[in-house]
């Protein structure tokens, strides 16, 4: 049994075949799904899916790309929902920055403010965080060490930066996705064995980051098997054990999952 701890099933690319997507995943042993709230525009769809399917949960937050649309009052309506399991995905993303120095400073400042507000909100509600980190390890580490509460969270889009392993002692987990199956993922493959076993969780980030051998196609939760197989290869533990271990880890972090 596997939990896909990060799949954007509220994305419009699943509008036409969501039942089949969930069915295919269940056939591959995926028992639960978490839709990370990234874009307030699709949050209503995430809630609709969580109310329709027992296996689907969601979180509430704003992705760094969308920082300018952050509005805690709007999100507040959804956060007390019985199936809202976390705050996020929030974080910092310095991959796509504007051109001028001045615009870069403004963008970074905005992303940090919005990230800090979500960290503090999670602490207040005693919910874990789903954190997106890209080209921003130093700043993310600083903000999480300074502000995060005891409920920790998961580092998604984990870009293999070893310095982030420090957060495992602050109840942070590491979301492993399709990148692990890529031929050019040397950095992640080197860091992977250093992640404590009890801090590993599985995520597809569907519809993005499709694992090998489906790269180029739309990603979906049924492909978690390919991520798990690669983890088995690198961990030297059996598939069944890896699946139950990561599932238990995911449930330990997201305590509202039933
Ligand atoms: Ni994502």
| One pLDDT digit (tens) per residue for the chain, 258 residues | 999 999 999 999 999 999 999 999 999 999 999 999 978 889 999 999 999 999 999 999 999 999 999 999 999 999 999 999 999 999 999 998 999 999 999 999 999 999 999 999 999 999 999 999 999 999 999 999 999 999 999 998 667 789 999 999 999 999 999 999 998 899 999 999 999 999 999 999 999 999 999 999 999 999 999 999 999 999 889 999 999 999 999 999 999 999
Residue 232 has a CB neighbour count (10 Å cut-off) of: 16
> Which segments of 138-194 are extended strands (E)?
153-156, 172-176
7 CA → ligand 1 middle, Å: 7
206 Cα–ligand 1 center, Å: 7
Contact yes or no for 202/224 (Cβ under 8 A): yes
Q: How far is the CA of 123 from the centre of ligand 1 (A)?
A: 21
Do 181 and 202 contact (CB within 8 A), yes or no?
no
- Supply the DSSP string of 73-104, one letter for each residue: HHHHHHHTSTTEEEEEEEEEE-SS--SSHHHH
Read off the pLDDT of residues 68-123 as tens digits, 9 standing for 90 and up: 999 999 999 999 999 999 999 999 999 989 999 999 999 999 999 999 999 999 99
pLDDT of residue 109: 98
CA of 101 to the centre of ligand 1 (A): 28
Name all domains of the chain by residue range, CATH numbers in brackets: 2-253 (3.20.20.140)
Cα–Cα distances in Å, from 19 out to 28, 29, 46, 159? 14, 16, 14, 32
Query: Contact, 194 vs 166, CB < 8 A?
Result: no
CA of 159 to the centre of ligand 1 (A): 13
The DSSP letter of residue 59 is E
Taking the model in full, what pTM does it have?
A: 0.96
Query: For residue 6, how far is its CA from the centre of ligand 1 (angstroms)?
Result: 6
Instruction: Give DSSP secondary structure letters for 200-222.
Output: EEE---BTSSPPTTSTTSPP-GG
Answer for the pair 57, 33: CB distance below 8 angstroms, yes or no: yes
DSSP designation for 224: H
């Amino acid at each position: 049994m596997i939990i896909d701890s990060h799949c954007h099933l509220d994305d419009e690319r699943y509008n036409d075949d969501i039942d089949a997507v969930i069915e295919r995943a269940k056939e591959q042993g995926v028992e639960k799904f978490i839709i990370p709230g990234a874009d307030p525009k699709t949050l209503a769809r995430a809630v609709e899916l969580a109310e329709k399917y027992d296996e689907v949960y969601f979180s509430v937050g704003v992705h760094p790309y969308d920082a300018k649309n952050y509005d805690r009052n709007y999100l507040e309506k959804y956060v007390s929902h019985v199936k809202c399991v976390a705050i996020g995905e929030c974080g910092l993303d310095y991959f796509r920055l504007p051109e001028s120095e001045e615009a870069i400073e403004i963008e970074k400042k905005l992303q940090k403010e919005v990230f800090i507000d979500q960290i503090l909100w999670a602490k207040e509600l005693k919910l874990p965080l789903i954190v997106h980190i890209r080209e921003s390890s130093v700043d993310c580490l600083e903000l999480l060490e300074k502000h995060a509460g005891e409920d920790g969270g998961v580092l998604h889009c984990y870009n293999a930066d070893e310095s982030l392993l420090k957060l495992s002692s602050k109840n942070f987990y590491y979301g492993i996705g399709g990148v692990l199956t890529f031929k050019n993922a040397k950095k992640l493959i080197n860091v992977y064995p250093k992640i404590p076993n009890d801090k590993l969780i599985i995520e597809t980030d569907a519809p993005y980051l499709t694992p090998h051998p489906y790269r180029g196609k739309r990603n979906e939760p049924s492909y978690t098997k390919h991520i798990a197989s690669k983890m088995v290869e690198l961990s030297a533990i059996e598939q069944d054990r890896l699946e139950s271990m990561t599932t238990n880890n995911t449930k330990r972090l997201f305590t509202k999952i039933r």
